[in-house]
Each structure stands twice: as C-alpha cells, then as structure tokens.
Amino acid sequence: MDEVCFNRSHFNLYLVILIILFVFFVYIFFFNKTETVANVTTQKTSASTTSRDLYNCQKDLQMCILEARRRTQPTPDILLNRIYNPLVGPERVYPGGRLNARSYDEYQQIGFVDKNDERYPLYGRPKYPGRTTKYEYYIIDETRNRLKIPFKSRNDEELYDGESVFIDVLGDTFSIKIYDYDNVRYNPNF
C-alpha cells in the first residue's frame, strides 16, 4: 500500500491547481521584487530631493545672514571709500554699534591733528571691544611715504575735539580736530 492512486479527473484538477499556485507564487515574487526596487528607487529619489531641499534651505539661511551682516556692519571698503572718495563726508562710525548694528572696532579715520601748516590724518579705534574710553591712535605722514606713526594719549584715554597731544616721534604738540559721528538721520520721503 505504498501507492497512492488518483482518479484521472482528480489528477488533472490537482495538476491545474498546482500550476496556478506556482504561477501565483512566481507572480508575487517578481511583482514584490519590482515593487521593492521601485520603492527603493522612490526612497532614494525622495531622500536626494529632501537632502537637496535641506541644502538649499541652509544655503539660503546663510546668504540671508551674510546679507544682514553686510547691511548692518560697515566693511573696510566703506571706510576706504570714506577716506579716498571726496564726495563722501568725513563722519566716523560709532564704535559701540547703533540700533541693531554690530559694533565696529577697526581703525578708522576719526579726525586730524594740526599745527600751523602741518596736518596729519588721525586714525583710532577702541582699545578693547565694546564700549570703552580707552583708544589706540596713529597718524599717517604723507611726506614720508605714508609712514604710520603710532602715539599714545595720556592713560590711553579717548581724545576729544580741541585737545592737544604731544607726538614724540615728531617732537611737537598738535591740536586735535575730531569728526562727528555718522548718525541716523530723518528722511521725510520714507
């Protein structure tokens, strides 16, 4: 009794069912595989799109920050333009910042020193960042190939308009003329 016998009609039915199951499993296997490949491709595309969007967002944020800094903080180009352009006024930038602007702590032309026929441009900056009354100064001698001559005020204190200062390299006392600050001005057109 090791044999199993089928009726011919039953055998054909079993064979058809077996073929249908085989085709079904093959279809499921290949369909899921192509669907999985499609999902992976979609996920990769979605991930690359997301990373591209994130990169663009970060780039736009950085550009916005740089633009805001450029608008609120004077650059050396602005200060050089103020020195060499005869159409720009000689006002100086407030070192502690103004309104929402960052402070500017680099040397800038703040006035000139004067004695008889001698005039030298006066450059200064706060000695310590932020608001301070301690300053560092130098003048430029145009007759000596634009030689920068540093000097110290008494206790490194800020110099004011009309004061006198002794510059030891030149061996003389000079009076000081300080420019006004570049203030915010009212514009009735806006």
pLDDT at residue 76, rounded to an integer: 57
Q: Residue 72: left if φ>0, alpha if ψ -120 to 50, beta else—which one? A: alpha
- Provide DSSP, 96-124: T--TTPPP--S-EEEEEEEETTEEEEEEE
Question: Side chain identity at 36, as an amino acid letter?
Answer: T
Q: Report, as an integer, the average pLDDT of 23-32.
A: 80
Question: Across-strand partners of 109?
Answer: 123
Residue 60 predicted with pLDDT over 70: yes
Residue 6 predicted with pLDDT over 60: yes
Q: What is the pLDDT of residues 45-55, one digit of tens each?
A: 666 677 778 77
The overall average pLDDT reported for the chain is 77
Q: 88-92, 100-104, 105-109: which has the highest mean pLDDT?
A: 105-109
Q: In the β-sheet with 147-151, what is the strand arrangement from edge to edge?
A: 147-151, 135-141, 118-126, 108-115, 172-178, 164-167
pLDDT at residue 100, rounded to an integer: 47
Residue extents of the structural domains in the chain: 7-72, 76-178
DSSP type of residue 10: H
User: Rounded distance, CA 131 to CA 125, Å?
Assistant: 11
User: Rounded distance, CA 122 to CA 167, Å?
Assistant: 12
User: Rounded distance, CA 118 to CA 97, Å?
Assistant: 33
For the record, the structure tokens of 17 come out as 């069912």
User: Rounded distance, CA 71 to CA 160, Å?
Assistant: 29
pTM over 0.85: no
